[in-house]
Amino acid sequence: MNARKMTILNFVKKLCLITMLVASSLTVANAKSQELKRSKLASFGTYSGHFLAANLALSSRDFKSATNFLMHLYSEQPEDPVLIESLFLVYLINGEFEKARLFAEKYHQDETVKQEAQSSHHYLSKLFLTASQVKSGDYDTARTHLEKGDDFMIAEMSYHLLSAWINVADNKPDSALASLEKLQENSFHQIYYLINSAILAEMQDRQKDADIFYNEALLLGGTKLDLIEAYGRFLERTGREKQAFALYDDFENRAGKHPLIAKARARLISGEKPQPMIGNAQEAIAYGLYHIANIYYGAGNYDESLNYARLAQYLAPENSYILNVLSLSYQNVEKYVEANEILQQIKPESSFYTKAQIRIAANLEINGQNGLALEKIAALLNEDKIDEAVHMEYANMLKRNEKYAQSIEYYDDLIGSRFLLTINDANLFYNRAVAHERLKNWPQAEADFLQALKLDPNHSYALNYLGYSWVDKGLKLERGLEMISNALTIDPQNAFIIDSLGWAYFKLGRYEEARKELERAMLVSPSNADISDHLGDVYWKLGRKLEAEFKWQQATIFKSPEINYDDLEFKRENGLEALDERKALNDKPAVKAENGTANNG
């Protein structure tokens, strides 16, 4: 891997080299004397223990623990440039910027590092020192730290953007424009050239140029919220209220509602003139670094996204866009506590605040803190006004926590607030249908499933759930089978839907077809207890009783809240026919057909 592109996880490899070198030196020393051997081995034991602990912490992205272990290593090897740079990076990722600065400075004071002109791996620390000098107003020194990395697309973009805005801060407008023009040499950079050119023209009171640049940027990124905000504020300040309204309407028609747009409309109506989204060169540099973080985030490189988002936060600590991408990067590496620490920094006056609070609750739920999650959402509820995002998340969370009756009340409120139903409302009816079905309110559930499909005939989860329920209840078997088949056409690798199709064939007595589908479902989801249970029933009907008993036993190991384990044990002891006879005397309980991984609440 190219050295300059190394992220914090890559340094594990270099730390391994340190350990090997230490081990080699001890081998030489051991040959000299037994007493020295004991001393060195004891020292190495401590060192290697801290190394292994640091390695493990870095591998699991536990950067706070890694910092402690790296500091122990540093106390024994205070001049090692690899350790120094590693400490810079972990302090950067932890948001401890002053400590990051100290280690970045020490790293670049090392003579061996200074000699690595072409093969060094210090680009990120150089970038941090550039940002540090911008903050202190020392633009000449900032330029000395600024250099290109070797990730061509990003390196060119960051170099020219920072050069431009350092020149703006240093009152060198011609040099700033020349640096921005360099971005046009690569089509990938075009939208960032246009956005930054618009912001610069706005700062220099070149309104006509700003308008041209903003409009050209819209052609390339018309659903970028930050672009809409920047241009909308510009239109509002320059007295073009109708254009601003049209811009906001167009955005929501294409991307959906957003609190930022609602706030902008309210501001327009009040006549209040907003400040520019970017007010100075330092904010512009932070904005550029945010874009780089966002690019890495979109590419799935969350480690680099964390690095650049932290760099951006260093320059603009309260910027909601930066905090948002930083928290998302943490979430995508399953660091939900760290994500919530960032989300808590988004202030109540921010347009991102409500969504941030919802995401905090969702992260709490992922970490098993369901009660706290519900409390967090409940605190956002407004009895006098339906906030769609809050009510929807609260209803979905209540449903996930099996508080079905309460969830229905909130789904009712949301549906009642609609003046006109659209395809986007299909999920509302689907989720309310699931809640009704769990409460055994089948007529209401069936009506809601059908309404969801009326609004969105290709809603695969509604097709599957309704089709499965009909088949499982012995109602409309052929139509249910057709619905499940349609759902599988839409989502062919969904194990829940494949299971539903297999179960439908089973209910129709088509056991060989049921076997094929359920075995396919097991390949997609091999640890699914429901599928194991169903496949066991099929094997029993096909006379493969040993295999049936094995699958039923698997169902007891994998576990599922949808399985009646009393029935399962009875079936294992007495056979499927005996269970059927016993169940014929009682009403059959509701059965789940919902994909637990679906993002439908």
When pLDDT is cut at 50, 70 and 90, the band that residue 581 belongs to is confident
For the cut 80, the answer to whether the pLDDT of residue 272 exceeds it is yes
Question: If you compute the radius of gyration of the chain from its CA atoms, what whole number of angstroms results?
Answer: 30
Q: Which of 63, 92, 120 is the last residue of a domain?
A: 120
Q: Is residue 324 part of a domain?
A: yes
Task: Tell me the pLDDT tens digit for each residue of 116-144.
Answer: 654 345 788 899 999 999 999 999 999 98
My answer on whether 201 and 332 are in the same domain is: yes
My answer on whether 11 and 108 are in the same domain is: yes
**Neighbour tally for 327: CB within 10 Å:** 27
My answer on whether 202 and 92 are in the same domain is: no
The residue ranking higher by pLDDT, 485 or 11, is 485
My answer on whether 71 and 186 are in the same domain is: no
My answer on whether 517 and 587 are in the same domain is: yes
* CA gap 26, 262 in Å, rounded: 67
When pLDDT is cut at 50, 70 and 90, the band that residue 492 belongs to is very high
The residue ranking higher by pLDDT, 2 or 249, is 249
pLDDT at 1: 45
Q: Which of 318, 342, 366 is the last residue of a domain?
A: 342
Domain harbouring 598, CATH code: 1.25.40.10
The residue ranking higher by pLDDT, 211 or 77, is 211
For the cut 70, the answer to whether the pLDDT of residue 145 exceeds it is yes
The residue ranking higher by pLDDT, 49 or 479, is 479
For the cut 80, the answer to whether the pLDDT of residue 427 exceeds it is yes
For the cut 70, the answer to whether the pLDDT of residue 591 exceeds it is no
Q: Is residue 149 part of a domain?
A: no
Q: pTM of the entire structure?
A: 0.81
For the cut 50, the answer to whether the pLDDT of residue 508 exceeds it is yes
Residues 6+ apart with CB under 8 A from 276: 199, 202, 203, 230, 233, 234, 237
When pLDDT is cut at 50, 70 and 90, the band that residue 14 belongs to is low
Mean pLDDT estimate for the chain: 85
Task: Report the number of distinct structural domains present in the chain.
Answer: 3
Q: Is residue 13 part of a domain?
A: yes
pLDDT at 244: 95
My answer on whether 114 and 173 are in the same domain is: no
pLDDT at 564: 84
3 state SS of 91: helix
When pLDDT is cut at 50, 70 and 90, the band that residue 149 belongs to is low
The residue ranking higher by pLDDT, 328 or 582, is 328
For the cut 80, the answer to whether the pLDDT of residue 20 exceeds it is no
Q: What residues make up the domain containing 521?
A: 471-601
3 state SS of 385: strand
My answer on whether 322 and 197 are in the same domain is: yes
Q: Which of 342, 364, 389 is the last residue of a domain?
A: 342
Q: Is residue 88 part of a domain?
A: yes
H-helix or E-strand spanning residue 488: helix 477-490
Task: Tell me the pLDDT tens digit for each residue of 347-386.
Answer: 999 999 999 999 999 999 999 999 999 999 999 887 657 7
Is the dihedral angle over the CA atoms 572, 574, 578, 582 positive or is it negative? Answer: negative
Q: Is residue 30 part of a domain?
A: yes
My answer on whether 213 and 104 are in the same domain is: no
Residues 6+ apart with CB under 8 A from 461: 430, 487, 594, 595, 598, 600
Q: Is residue 551 part of a domain?
A: yes
My answer on whether 110 and 233 are in the same domain is: no
The residue ranking higher by pLDDT, 69 or 379, is 379
Domain harbouring 176, CATH code: 1.25.40
Q: Is residue 504 part of a domain?
A: yes
My answer on whether 116 and 170 are in the same domain is: no
Q: State mean pLDDT over 492-507.
A: 92
My answer on whether 301 and 202 are in the same domain is: yes
Q: Is residue 445 part of a domain?
A: no
Q: State mean pLDDT over 185-207.
A: 93
My answer on whether 199 and 323 are in the same domain is: yes
Least confident of 241-245, 450-454, 470-474: 470-474
